[in-house]
Amino acid sequence: MRKPSPSQTKSDPVKLARFKRRLQAHGITQIAIAERASVSNMHVCNVLAGRDISAKVLLAAKALLAEALVTKRVMRQPEEAVAS
């Protein structure tokens, strides 16, 4: 018997809650995730609430978070160079 893929397994509510807080802290909205994943806002809401499973939504959210983190680092670098 084949093991289910990560997108087919039940999501951990604690990990989802932590992930949602990180998204919110970086200003990433459900609308932005929905646009990136080409899905409805309701679908994103259901995935982030753990009521539905979607690798497409989670990958879009992770990509937006990665972009936000890179942007934050790039914006912070000139300040660190001046302080040195």
The fold for domain 10-83 equals 434 Repressor (Amino-terminal Domain) (1.10.260)
State residue 11's pLDDT score.
73
Question: Domain residues of the chain, as ranges?
Answer: 10-83
State residue 12's pLDDT score.
87
pTM: 0.74
Cα separation, 40 vs 67, whole angstroms: 21
pLDDT of 5 above 60: no
Q: What is the 3-state secondary structure (H, E, C) of 35-75?
A: HHHCCCHHHHHHHHCCCCCCHHHHHHHHHHHHHHHHHHHHH
Confidence of residue 72 (pLDDT cuts 50, 70, 90): confident
pLDDT digits (tens, 9 = 90+) for 22-53: 999 999 999 999 999 999 999 999 999 999 99
State residue 15's pLDDT score.
92
What are residue 2's phi and psi, to 5 degrees? -80, 145
